[in-house]
Structure 1
Amino acid sequence: MSTLQISLAIIGGLVLAGVVAYNAWITRKSAPRTAVERVQDGGGHPAAGVDDDSENAVYGNDARGSGTRRIDPILGDGLDSPSGGPSMADDERLPPPQVPVTLSHVVNPPEKKASLDALIDVITPLSLEGEVSGDALLAALPGTRRVGSKPFAVEGQSEATGEWETPRPGQRYRALQAGVQLANRSGALNDIEFSEFVVKVQAFSDAVGAAPDFPDMRTEVARARELDAFASGHDAQLGFTLRARRAAWSPGYVAQHAARLGFVTGALPGRMVLPGSQQGQAPLLSLAFDPQAAMADDPEKTALRDIALSLEVTHVPRSEQPFVRMRQAAASLAEAMDGVITDDAGQLLSTDTMDRIGADLESLYDALDSRDLSAGSVQARRLFS
């Protein structure tokens, strides 16, 4: 073999090796970022051979995200309509507000079911001639706890505490009441639903020997419409989208960074929540991504280009500063994962836009407080459901 042939063979080999190396680099560059557990030696330092990149280090559990529906920003220049939206066409970076997120990584148990409330319920007293057992009341309850699209309930007044409660076995009651909710996100109580409520309560009363005293239908339906009109003008659900700038994310990579901010696994695949600080309180924030990616055979090989961060405004107390925490969480995740904060259409959200939404929220909180429907209260959570 001549010197020329040998030289050409060497050059060809080098070119082939270069192509293989380039392809390997491109493949690695485009692969979704994954969570890597940081292994520590006895001295508390990363063990040899383990990637020390802070973006790929997980401290503790690799929480698995689990899915919810995307909630878009719907606060506009005013609060007259829950469907209005701000203009979000600015590409300024959002600096994270300095509010610590140090919530417990434990999802709080649900609170005790609240009593009927004249503010948001039609309430019908049921007169009894004597005592009736909780067992008899439970046996006589209708098969469903709804009237049309509205929750329905029967309660007895506890002799021990004087509080209204759902009938319990082994207890005895001298006073009863039945109720149906005036309005929720499906609309106001209408004539048909009120009539169904009357039929259902009358059948129950006949079974337990009670006499119902129904309020006037016209009055209650008008009250339901007024409450629904208020709720429609003051409902607020906010949503941010975090989009990857370059490399996509794996579900574990997202969960790793969200867990550092206090998020825990939710009830559905692809959903994580930031728990409230009080027992029985709704989650402060929800983080959601593609549930199919979370349920894949190998989630770390699936690629996420965006995730959704949402706030159910009327369900979280103002004292928790939920919107400030939402801004902080979004900014922290965007910085740590090399992403940007946008609206659902992909337009970057600016600091000025965030400030305007925050000011609108303060007005919303004031309006809810004025109706004794403060954000995060049991009544508000029932009405805005």
Structure 2
Amino acid sequence: MSTLQISLAIVGGLVLAGVVAYNAWVTRRSAPRTVREQPGPESKTAAARDDGVPTRSDAAPISPSDLGERIEPGFHDGVTEGPQTFSHSLSPVTLTHTVPPPEKRSGLDALIDVIAPLQLEAEVSGEALLAALPRSRRVGSKPFAVEGQREEGGEWDSPRPGQRYRALQVGVQLANRAGALNDIEFSEFVVKAQAFADAVGAAPEFPDMLAEVARARELDAFASGHDAQLGFTLRARRAAWSPGYVSQNAARFGFIAGVLPGRMVLPGSPGQAPVLSLTFDSQAAMAEDPEQSALRDVVLSLEVTHVPRSEQPFVRLRQTAAALAEAMDGVVTDDAGQLLSADTMDRIGADLETLYDALDHHDLSAGSVQARRLFS
């Protein structure tokens, strides 16, 4: 074999090796990022430099408040009643009227409920009330509730065994995300309440239907203009993410698994709704081998009316989105893929403060029992 042939063979071999190496690099780069083993104490500093995620030697979850100085959203004086400014200013981000399963809550409130007193001839036991309750606790699309005033203490609560009650009241919610209470639903409420009253030997006193239906429409109009879910989309810059990779990074910032596949939540204070939720493709989460599923984006959401302003939910949403984007090599965008600037974030924060003020002014503060019932 001549020197030329040997040289060509070597060059060809090098070219072939280069092509194989390049294809392997492209394949590895395009594969979804998967769960990584947690580094040991001796390698935590290097790990933080490698993936951009701050770590702690005690392995505790990292909260957004650990990432630096909080950014306080602006406050406005006065109250803006209409939804126009709020809806327009939040147009760069996801703003939807979602309908989650209604929560079962006790505590009738004249602000958001039609209430009909039931006059008792004698005290009645909790067992008798429970036996007489209607099979369905709904009137159309609205929750129906019964409360009794306890003999001892005089508190109002849902009927319980072992208690005796000296007064009763029944109620139906005026409005929720399904709309306002209408004439048909009010009539159904009267029928259901009368049947319960007959079963326990009570005499109901119903309010005027036209007045209550008008009040329901007014409340529904207010709720429709002040209900919002705020969402930021995190998109991968280069390599896609596996569900495990997303879950691992989110867990480091305090998120825990939700009830539904592909959903994680950031818990709030005891008794409160989650502050934030993180969702991704449920089919990918339920795949036989989730680590082979490729996610190009996930959504961080805030149920605005369900989280108290004191939790600083938008500040935490903003900081968490930025921190996760840095940790997973992603960007923060609206639902159309447009990058969200700092100025846009500031405007959203200011509009949210106006919304919170309006809710406070109507005794429907975000995160309150009344607000969570109305906006459900």
Q: Could you tell me the TM-score, scaled by structure 1's length? A: 0.83
Q: Give me the whole-angstrom Cα distance separating, in 1, the residues matched to 2:15 and 2:81.
A: 63
Decide whether aligned partners of structure 1 residues 365 and 271 sit closer, same or farther in structure 2, where only a CA change above 3 A counts: same
Decide whether aligned partners of structure 1 residues 320 and 52 sit closer, same or farther in structure 2, where only a CA change above 3 A counts: closer
Percent identity, please.
Answer: 77
1:263-342 paired onto structure 2 within 5 Å = 263-277=255-269, 279-342=270-333
Find the residue that maps to 1:127 and give its secondary structure: strand
Q: Does 1:252 align with 2:252?
A: no
Q: Give me the whole-angstrom Cα distance separating, in 1, the residues matched to 2:212 and 2:199.
A: 25
Q: Deviations over 1:288-345 (max 9, x none)?
A: 1111111112212211111101111111111111111111111111122111111111
Corresponding residue for 2:97?
Answer: none
Find the residue that maps to 1:308 and give its secondary structure: strand
Shift of 1:36: 0.7
1:366-377 paired onto structure 2 within 5 Å = 366-377=357-368
Q: Give me the whole-angstrom Cα distance separating, in 1, the residues matched to 2:81 and 2:294.
A: 38
- Considering only aligned residues, what root-mean-square deviation do their CA atoms show, in Å? 2.6
Decide whether aligned partners of structure 1 residues 175 and 273 sit closer, same or farther in structure 2, where only a CA change above 3 A counts: same
Find the residue that maps to 1:37 and give its secondary structure: coil
Corresponding residue for 1:190?
Answer: 182
Q: Give me the whole-angstrom Cα distance separating, in 2, the residues matched to 1:233 and 1:364.
A: 9
**Aligned pair partner of 2:140 in 148, 153, 159:** 148
**Aligned pair partner of 1:262 in 251, 254, 263:** 254
Q: Give me the whole-angstrom Cα distance separating, in 2, the residues matched to 1:301 and 1:356.
A: 39
Q: Does 1:347 align with 2:338?
A: yes
Q: Does 1:54 align with 2:51?
A: yes
Decide whether aligned partners of structure 1 residues 292 and 37 sit closer, same or farther in structure 2, where only a CA change above 3 A counts: same
Amino acid at match of 1:330: A
Shift of 1:7: 3.6
Q: Deviations over 1:259-298 (max 9, x none)?
A: 2221111111111111112x11001111111111111122
Q: Give me the whole-angstrom Cα distance separating, in 1, the residues matched to 2:364 and 2:54.
A: 43
Find the residue that maps to 1:235 and give its secondary structure: coil
Amino acid at match of 2:275: L
Q: Is the 8 A contact 1:131 1:174 kept in 2?
A: yes
Q: Is the 8 A contact 2:302 2:317 kept in 1?
A: yes
Find the residue that maps to 1:373 and give its secondary structure: coil
Shift of 1:189: 0.4
Corresponding residue for 2:36?
Answer: 36
Q: Does 1:204 align with 2:196?
A: yes
Shift of 1:2: 4.6
More helix by share: 2
Structure 1: gaps of 5 or more residues: 63-76, 90-110
Q: Give me the whole-angstrom Cα distance separating, in 2, the residues matched to 1:127 and 1:153.
A: 16
Shift of 1:250: 1.3
Q: Does 1:134 align with 2:106?
A: no
Q: Is the 8 A contact 2:52 2:326 kept in 1?
A: no
Q: Give me the whole-angstrom Cα distance separating, in 2, the residues matched to 1:27 and 1:85.
A: 42
Decide whether aligned partners of structure 1 residues 183 and 203 sit closer, same or farther in structure 2, where only a CA change above 3 A counts: same
Q: Is the 8 A contact 2:266 2:277 kept in 1?
A: yes
Q: Is the 8 A contact 1:46 1:52 kept in 2?
A: no
Shift of 1:172: 1.8
Corresponding residue for 1:106?
Answer: none
Corresponding residue for 2:70?
Answer: none
Q: Is the 8 A contact 2:148 2:156 kept in 1?
A: yes
Shift of 1:87: 5.2
Shift of 1:57: 9.7
Corresponding residue for 1:378?
Answer: 369
Q: Could you tell me the TM-score, scaled by structure 2's length? A: 0.85
Corresponding residue for 1:19?
Answer: 19
Shift of 1:56: 8.4
Q: Give me the whole-angstrom Cα distance separating, in 1, the residues matched to 2:83 and 2:262.
A: 33
Q: Does 1:364 align with 2:355?
A: yes
Find the residue that maps to 1:36 and give its secondary structure: coil
**Aligned pair partner of 1:124 in 116, 120, 130:** 116
Q: Is the 8 A contact 1:79 1:360 kept in 2?
A: no
Q: Deviations over 1:132-183 (max 9, x none)?
A: 2212211111111100000001111122332211111222212111000000
Corresponding residue for 2:206?
Answer: 214
Find the residue that maps to 1:53 and give its secondary structure: helix
Q: Deviations over 1:10-58 (max 9, x none)?
A: 3332222211111111111111112211242xxx3139xx998335898
Corresponding residue for 2:156?
Answer: 164
Amino acid at match of 1:380: A
Q: Give me the whole-angstrom Cα distance separating, in 1, the residues matched to 2:81 and 2:33.
A: 40
Structure 2: gaps of 5 or more residues: 62-79, 94-102
Amino acid at match of 1:303: A
Q: Give me the whole-angstrom Cα distance separating, in 2, the residues matched to 1:51 and 1:234.
A: 41
Q: Does 1:10 align with 2:13?
A: no
